[in-house]
Structure 1
């Protein structure tokens, strides 16, 4: 009886081991995820240079995917069509978290987490903060869930930005600017704390 139980136990373990050995992870996503903080590089400095941040606290965090240009035309094409809602990057719609109430491009926004979308055009973008944070791309976009819309002018970058990027720059103690850029296009949004 003990031999039979031992035999079944070994058989069971070998089956589990065979399944574990046959598992393979899927490949890397073409659009790696990134995060931008304000103050800029807050998470990195908090761990590796705490004296650099002093008493600063995180005020904004954006989680987004960074697609690459790869020689393609970007804006006004299938990738980011003019006049249509775009997910601002790739994969899931980016999530922007405000740790406190802010004024985003002139609109008062309560602390919380929102999806960040845009309607790009040649001369201006309309940035959208939506309460629908669990959406893939902008395929299920619902205008009724908009929290705010802000229109900002397009600026031309001096150099080509190969990977879509979002970054913050401090203007003064109460103001920052959020920059979004890809290809030769850049937009800037003022954020007041």
Structure 2
């Protein structure tokens, strides 16, 4: 009986180790981690996300990898994180200093960008649906999306200075989304 429990224990440990490997190492090889570290004076912004690749797929479309009108965790593997050490102004809407999960709802003409107070693990459940709780949204903004000629193979988030303001940028496939903001 002791040998049976020992064998079962070893098998359980092997299964757990395999699951940890798949979760933390194997899946991230397809969508590596990305990090944005932006500073402008005393303002510091960090974005932590995973960068999926197009790989010949249709990305933003009604039936695309990221369907129009559906909440997206804005990256792959786990929820994307947005940090700011100062209060930000997005077109008259305020985002307090803090750490947020970053979600988007892509559309044909515009995107909703959502900063949420909760930070879930993977960002999606076993059913493949986003695990965002709308009741804990700190800020929701809507900005236009632009179709470009150049195609970007890998999903990229960036923060750039644009004159007196700054922009939070999302770029993938032929889509560019820019959310202008300033610090308060």
* Closer/same/farther in 2, CA of residues 33 and 105 from structure 1, 3 Å limit: farther
Q: In the aligned structure 2, how far is the partner of 1:156 from the partner of 1:148?
A: 25
The question of whether the paired residues in 1 share the 8 Å contact of 2:100 and 2:116 is answered with yes
Contiguous gaps of at least 5 residues in structure 2? 1-16, 125-129
Match of 1:108, SS state, is strand
Q: Give runs of aligned pairs for residues 1-193 of structure 1, distance below 5 A.
A: 26-27=25-26, 29-39=29-39, 56-57=41-42, 59-76=44-61, 77-138=63-124, 139-173=130-164, 175-193=165-183
Question: What TM-score, normalized to structure 1?
Answer: 0.74
What is the Cα deviation at residue 143 of structure 1?
Answer: 0.7
SS of the residue aligned with 2:135?
helix
Contact 2:58 2:64 in 1 (8 A): no
The question of whether the paired residues in 2 share the 8 Å contact of 1:181 and 1:187 is answered with yes
- How many residue pairs match? The answer is 156
Structure exhibiting the larger radius of gyration computed from Cα positions = 1
Take 2:98 and 2:60, find their aligned partners in 1: how far apart are those partners? Answer: 30
Q: Distance between the aligned counterparts of 1:169 and 1:81, measured in 2?
A: 27
Q: Is the 8 A contact 1:131 1:147 kept in 2?
A: yes
1:185 is paired with a residue whose SS is strand
The alpha-carbon deviation at position 170 of structure 1 amounts to 0.8
Aligned partners of 1:61 and 1:125: how far apart in 2? 21
Closer, same or farther: CA 171–137 of 1 in aligned 2, 3 Å: same
Q: Is the 8 A contact 1:37 1:58 kept in 2?
A: no
Cα offset for 1:172? 3.3
Secondary structure of 1:59's match? strand
**Which stretches of structure 1, 4 residues or more, deviate above 3 A after TM superposition?**
23-28
Normalized against structure 2, the TM-score is what?
A: 0.77
* Separation of aligned partners in 2, 1:58 and 1:35: 17
